[in-house]
A and B are shown apart, each in its own frame.
Chain A
Amino acid sequence: MTLLLSLLLVFAGALAAPWMVRAGRGWLRNLLLVVPLGAFLLLLGGLPAVAAGGAVSLQLPWFPSLGVTLDLRMDGLSAVMGLLVTGIGALIVLYSFGYLGKHPQYGRFASFLLAFMGAMLGLVLADNLILLFIFWELTSITSYLLIGFLHEDPQSRKKALQALLVTGLGAVVMLAGFILLGEVAGTYRISELLGEGALLTASPLYPAILLLILAGAFTKSGQVPFHFWLPNAMVAPTPVSAYLHSATMVKAGVFLLARLHPALGGTEMWTGYLVVFGGLTLLTAVVLGLFQTDLKGILAYTTLGVLGLLTMLLGVGTELALKSMIVFLIGHALYKAALFMTAGAVDHETGTRELTHLRGLRFAMPLTATAALLAALSKSGFPPFFGFIGKEAVYEAAGNLGGLGWGVLAVAVGGNMLMMALALKAGIAPFWGRPSGQTPKPPHEGPFSLWFGPLLLGSIGLLLGLVPGLVGPTLVAPAVSAMTGAPSEVYVKLWHGFNLPLLLSLLTLAGGLVLFRLRHHFWRVAPRVRYFLRARGAEATYDLLFASTVALAEWQTRTLQSGRLYSYVRIVLLFTVVLVGGAILSTSLRLAPPPLPGPIEALPAGIVLTMIVGAVLAAVTDNRITALLGLGTVGFGMALLFTYYGAPDLAITQLLVETLTVVLFMFVIYRLPHLRHPSRVLIRLRDAGLAALFGLCMSYLALEAITLNLDTPISERLAAMSYPLAKGKNVVNVILVDFRALDTLGEITVLVAAALGVAALVTGGLRRRRRKRAE
């Protein structure tokens, strides 16, 4: 129940946020902090049970008919993510007070932020594939709103859409994978599914399931070649970047893979894809990051690198690798969110994020500088920070593998070196050295809300490094056992003794420092690299796809939606002829046997032939009077046919109406020019052919309708009741004014409406003409 409560609390906060911000600028707004903090504490309350090897779960029927239940479950893995989401979320909310609090639409922002938090929390707590998918999509949508929050900026809108499209399309593909997965395993409940690993990996559908799900996870977590959206999403306000693009949303893909590891992991295919793509992402990201001069850009690329590393570790999949993954994930969330927040604080208080202008800020912003220093040291993996433990764990895991491990180890060491250089660039470079004096605003320390969060996170990074026992048995071990499916005995320690990992750590530190010293060399060529990426990178492919989709849509709209009535009619007719004609030819509409031609009587035959001539004449003539005559022939012919076939009432009505129509037609046509034929002969012939085919279909259908002898109980009952009940001898009249009187009332209403319309048009026209004449 605590799980549902925490979810509801966050979503309720999202609903209430705009009001709370508007109603009271001060204390009521600050009350928003209660939401993530409350959720954090609720989850924390469930932690002892999780640490003891159990799980907190809840099942509520949601759409029982569809088999969708609201299954929530917190095991070790969900607990790690859930605590990060709510805990860092609380600091982000606080941070956003200082960063965006004065923005006129801050209420909306807070609402989006909390809605995202709820979606993310739901995602990590969901114990049902469909439910997980729903929350997954919700994070995409809310992140779209958050990235595009500064919507006056076209770049902001464009990049937000890009993130939405990439992650959204991936998610659709992933849904297909989920459905296959659920069908093969016979259940959509994740906790049940995890026990079906043997069945799933042996299934012939396994490669399809894995590839489809990887598409979702890789797009969400920015793996190569979908990495481009994440750096682009840096157009978002910094609280968003710090929250979504470091600690939470981008980790959703990695989380999903970790979640499904017991079900899908352990195969060669799994290891191959994850290690290769993860490694590629790590190397691509950190190399590209070297050429960045934008503070947030650097952080975005290192985030990508970490996501690659985490994916790679998941691919390796040994207990040590999974342990190192969790440790690294926690460490990364702590220092990366802190670094983003300090970057935002620098941006906020100096007016720029260009590293080339930022130096020596430690004098003006000592607290921010301390926070950045703590985070950067943790990120670089200096002992005794938590980041050091994470890195050691990675090296230990890779070093114990042999074969494949050496490749992983080499990639990890290289990647870490570069990441360290980037960490120093982002966390140290702006604050040390002589002040540059080139910032748009004179630098000064930000308010409490801007430095408290990063400082706290940085300190936690140090604290956990010194006392790793705080998280080892409570978080890391349960999370690892959730991923291996077996109780885990992992220990998280700072000091492992003199061994290979320590040696590699020292190597990494040395390499990172060298690369950091060389940073200006990379910056010199940065513009050229960025230009090349724009022209040739993965984003260029995305742009091309995007542009061609738009072009296709435009072409299709232009072709189908020409705005010309006749082309719509042509399309409708064409499809009717093809579908109805096809059905007739394939005999599915041949209800009754075609009737034999009976004896032809001269009178009706004469009437029909005259009418045919009249109709054709009206259609093809370009003479107004001929058209009128043709129409009149058809109309009066109808009256004659009604008379002949025993419908005197119809005949009388038709005569009256036809006379009025002719008069009206005469009146209008008199003021119009002759009927021209603006279209070419060939087009007219084509249309005539199409019309003829349509007429043929209609003739056939009419023939069937006449021949078809349905029971006529209604008509016979009506005829029988006519005199006894309604005292009327004309059955048709009785039907109209008695049995179906309401229809007749409707008919009268239609006529009144038409008359009103005509009157309005005529008087309006008269007024206009009078005005024209007056002018």
Chain B
Amino acid sequence: MGFLVPILIGVLFAAGVYCLMRRSIMKLVIGVMLISQGANLLVFASGGLLAGSPPLVPADGQEPVAPFGDPLPQAMVLTAIVISFGLTAFVLTLVHEAHEAVGDDDTDAFRSTDT
């Protein structure tokens, strides 16, 4: 099971950077979103992957029963998910407005527009 998630991470990054190399501005956004997902998954997976054991303290216990998933990467990824959402929302709006201003979705047309 250990190698499926790494493959997925690689695919997400590959697809993401492929999009970054496109001239279409919408692809740029897609690339950023895919890379965000890949990065989140990478951080999450680096804590070790353990199926079905969330880091929760049982109702009658003082601390979670081992083995449990690493809580620290989870907390970090949670923050990261929210922040990538903020980023995505901002980039999407930016792209929309840029498209309105330039009238083209080809980044090659985005060279002399300080309007």
CB pair B46 A705 closer than 8 Å: yes
A438 adjacent to chain B (CB < 8 Å): no
Q: Are A668 and B93 interface neighbours, CB within 8 A?
A: yes
Contact of B34 among A634, A671, A679 (CB under 8 A): A634
Instruction: Tell me which residues across on chain B come within 8 A of A699, comparing CB atoms.
Output: 6-7, 9-11
Interface stretch among A184-192, A539-547, A604-612?
A604-612
Q: How far is the CB of B99 from chain A (nearest CB, A)?
A: 6
Contact of B74 among A604, A650, A706 (CB under 8 A): A650
A569 at the binding interface (Cβ < 8 Å): yes
B6 to chain A, nearest CB (A): 4
Query: Contact at A600–B4, with CB atoms within 8 Å?
Result: yes
Interface assignment of A583: CB less than 8 Å from any CB of chain B: no
Report which residue of B15, B19, B87 has the largest number of chain A beta carbons within 10 angstroms of its beta carbon: B15
> How many A-B pairs with Cβ below 8 Å?
299
- Chain B residues within 8 Å of A677, by CB: 22, 24
Count how many chain B residues have C-beta atoms less than 8 Å from C-beta atoms of the other chain.
Answer: 90
Question: Which of B1, B56, B84, B100 is the one whose CB lies under 8 Å from A601?
Answer: B1
Assuming the contacts A615-B11, A761-B93, asked whether A688 and B18 have C-beta atoms less than 8 A apart, the reply is yes
Alpha-carbon distance between A605 and B2 when the two chains are bound, in angstroms: 11
- The binding surface of chain B is classed by DSSP as helix
Contact of A675 among B17, B26, B45 (CB under 8 A): B26
User: Could you tell me if A676 and B34 are in contact, using CB atoms closer than 8 angstroms?
Assistant: no
Chain B residues, Cβ within 8 Å of A642? 44
A157-180 Cβ-contact flags toward B at 8 Å (1 or 0): 000000000000000000000000
Identify which of residues 689-708 in chain A touch chain B, using a CB-to-CB cut-off of 8 Å: 690-692, 694-700, 702-703, 705-707
B96 A657 Cβ-Cβ under 8 A: no
A678 surroundings in chain B (CB, below 8 A): 23-24, 106, 108
Complex Cα–Cα for A616 and B14 (A): 9
Name the residue of chain B whose CB is nearest to the CB of A707: B2
Nearest chain-A residue to B50 (Cβ)? A646
Please indicate the chain A residues that have their CB under 8 angstroms from the CB of B49 in the complex: 645, 706
CB-CB under 8 A from B83, the residues of chain A are: 747, 750-751
Q: Which residues of the other chain, B, contact A620 by a CB distance below 8 angstroms? A: 18
By a CB distance below 8 angstroms, the chain B residues around A309 are none
Complex formed: what's the CA distance from A703 to B59 in Å? 35
- CB contact under 8 A between A706 and B17, given known A566-B107, A654-B81: no
Which segment of A116-124, A363-371, A525-533, A725-733 sits at the interface? A725-733
The residue among B41, B42, B64, B74 with the most chain A CB atoms within 10 A of its own CB is B74
User: Is A644 part of the contact surface with B, judged by Cβ < 8 Å?
Assistant: yes
Residue A757 is within 8 A (CB to CB) of chain B in the complex: yes
Q: Does A720 contact B (CB under 8 A)?
A: yes
Q: Are B105 and A608 in touch, CB under 8 angstroms?
A: no
With known contacts A600-B1, A604-B4, A664-B89, A735–B75 Cβ distance under 8 A: yes
The verdict on A650 contacting B81 (CB below 8 Å), with A645-B51, A706-B49, A736-B75 known, is yes
Contact B7 A608 (CB under 8 A): yes
Spell out B's residues near A (CB within 8 Å): 1-24, 26-28, 30-31, 33-34, 37-38, 40-42, 44-59, 61-64, 68-72, 74-75, 77-79, 81-90, 92-97, 99-101, 105-108, 111
The 6 closest A-B pairs by CB, nearest first: A695-B14, A699-B10, A754-B86, A691-B18, A619-B15, A695-B10
15 A-B pairs whose Cβ atoms sit less than 8 Å apart in the complex? A566-B23, A604-B51, A605-B4, A612-B8, A627-B30, A634-B37, A638-B40, A654-B81, A671-B96, A687-B18, A696-B14, A702-B10, A718-B72, A758-B90, A761-B93
Residues of A bordering B, CB below 8 Å:
563-566, 569-570, 573, 595, 597-601, 604-605, 608, 611-612, 615-616, 618-620, 624, 627, 631, 634-635, 638, 641-642, 644-650, 653-654, 657, 660-661, 664-665, 668-669, 671-673, 675-679, 687-688, 690-692, 694-700, 702-703, 705-707, 709, 712, 714-715, 718-720, 722-724, 728-732, 735-736, 740, 743-744, 747, 750-751, 753-755, 757-758, 761-762, 764-765, 768-769
